[in-house]
Amino acid sequence: MRPDEKLELERGRSEDAPLAPYAMRASQGRGRRYPEPEHPFRSPFERDRDRIIHSRAFRRLEYKTQVFVNHEGDHFRTRLTHSIEVSQVARTVAAALDLNTVMAEALALSHDLGHTPFGHLGEEVLDGLMKDHGGFNHNRQSLRIVEHLEDRYPDFVGLNLTYEIREGIAKHSGPCDPRIAPEYADYHPEERPPLEAQMIDIADEIAYQHHDVDDGIESGLLDPKVLAHDIPLWGGCYEEALRRYPKASPRQQVTAALRGMIDHLVTDLVVTSRAAIEKSGVTSVDEVRRLSAPITGLSPEMARVNRELKRYLMRNLYQHHHIERMKDKARRIMSALFERYLDNEHLLPKEHREKIATLGQYRVICDYIAGMTDRYAMDEHRRLFEPYERV
């Protein structure tokens, strides 16, 4: 057997052998927008994952807000570490359901590429500023990044990812409506995405609620004892941690409770989704695509207690006055930058100004600001508005 034949055999075996019949295999995919020769020992989804990791947009996530702005502490999550944690949840769930773990990982790592600086507040600001010019949504922006804005390869624009990864970016948060986002018309809005994409949104939610509790306690904005009293999902896990580890440090007890909470959520997602898949009777990806509703998710009871936690975090963490004060600063920074670039497009770098003739001033400015990190946006604001700051 020639070495290239052995590599091809191993590549096929690593993807196909352990997968359920309803899992998405790259060998059954719809290909890339721009045809490329296959790699001898990496599957198309593995190449997609690697292109995402090597993209500039992915690296910038290191300095984009999850809840706390980057300069507020070295241990708080950023969009980058959040994406990595989502990928670990997604891989665990995919493996337990015999789905394609590489596809799930690629979707998890790409799902927040389009996020702005300063988290969801930045998204709200840009959407308001763009309301008469096509709006702004971070999922649409993620698709825009991988299809158009990344500029790394001489043979094509974007990252030239497979159809299934691009489709998953478009659809992982629910149906995509071409009336709202015309670019979604390319992704068969009448079809459900594969199961690997269907479960990304709940994997995202499990990951961020887990680590937002952790960061909230670490920051002192949340009290684990008060949280245990108010939220049963956390309370049961926290009480179990105190019982099992009475001599451990408070930090260790919180970590044990966090581990218990995420285990409850992920286990419920796996068990509930497995039962729904079996009940549906699907035996292929084509059958999954024809389903009338998604079939991955939490059980009704777990979904209810998870919503309680989500509402609690909204009231007591995301809307805490400390967070709101930073959000207010961020709102003024982003609005001011947008207005200055509109007033004088020559403040933009040359490579961005050159796109105005084809994309329009508003979309070019939006793309530029959306791609900024928190740090860059704050530095740029100082450069434009502080008289003694070097430009």
pLDDT digits (tens, 9 = 90+) for 191-245: 999 999 999 999 999 999 999 999 999 999 999 999 999 999 999 999 999 999 9
Q: N- to C-terminal Cα distance for the chain?
A: 62
Do 81 and 202 reside in the same domain of the chain? yes
- CATH classification at residue 101: 1.10.3210.10
Condensed to tens digits (0 to 9), the pLDDT of residues 350-391 reads 999 999 999 999 999 999 999 999 999 999 999 999 887 777
Question: Of 289, 323, 357, which closes a domain?
Answer: 323
Q: Is residue 267 part of a domain?
A: yes
Q: Domain limits at 336?
A: 324-385
Q: Is residue 341 part of a domain?
A: yes
Do 210 and 313 reside in the same domain of the chain? yes
Q: Is residue 391 part of a domain?
A: no
Q: Is residue 150 part of a domain?
A: yes
Dist. CA 160–CA 157, nearest whole Å: 7
Do 290 and 371 reside in the same domain of the chain? no
**What percent of the chain shows pLDDT beyond 90?**
82
Question: Of 274, 307, 323, which closes a domain?
Answer: 323
Q: Is residue 179 part of a domain?
A: yes
Dist. CA 6–CA 247, nearest whole Å: 54
Residue 352's CB is within 10 A of a number of other CB atoms, namely 17
- What's CA 227's distance to the chain center, in Å? 26
Do 110 and 219 reside in the same domain of the chain? yes
Dist. CA 143–CA 122, nearest whole Å: 18
Counting beta carbons within 10 angstroms of the beta carbon of residue 166, is it exposed (0 to 12), middle (13 to 18) or buried (19 or more)?
Answer: buried
Do 219 and 178 reside in the same domain of the chain? yes
Dist. CA 146–CA 167, nearest whole Å: 11
Residue range 9-33: mean pLDDT, rounded: 77
Question: Is the confidence at residue 13, as pLDDT, over 50?
Answer: no
Residue 174's CB is within 10 A of a number of other CB atoms, namely 10
Report helix angle 232-244 to 250-280, nearest 10: 130
Positive or negative, the Cα torsion across 240, 246, 247, 249?
A: positive
Q: pTM of the entire structure?
A: 0.92
Do 13 and 47 reside in the same domain of the chain? yes
Question: Of 323, 339, 363, which closes a domain?
Answer: 323
Q: What is the chain's mean pLDDT, rounded?
A: 92
Do 175 and 266 reside in the same domain of the chain? yes
Long-range own/partner contacts, residues 6-9 (CB < 8 A, 24 or more apart): 7/40, 7/41, 8/40, 8/41
Do 194 and 250 reside in the same domain of the chain? yes
Q: What is the pLDDT of residue 3?
A: 43
Do 316 and 336 reside in the same domain of the chain? no
Q: Is residue 24 part of a domain?
A: yes
Do 245 and 347 reside in the same domain of the chain? no
Q: Is residue 215 part of a domain?
A: yes
Counting beta carbons within 10 angstroms of the beta carbon of residue 127, is it exposed (0 to 12), middle (13 to 18) or buried (19 or more)?
Answer: middle
Q: How many domains does the chain have?
A: 2
Q: Is residue 390 part of a domain?
A: no
Do 318 and 346 reside in the same domain of the chain? no
Contact 370, 57 (CB under 8 A): no
Do 237 and 377 reside in the same domain of the chain? no
The DSSP string of 203-238 is HHHHHHHHHHHHHHHHHTSS-HHHHHHH-HHHHHHH
Closest to 204 (Cα-Cα) out of 89, 289, 285 = 89
Question: Is the confidence at residue 15, as pLDDT, over 90?
Answer: no
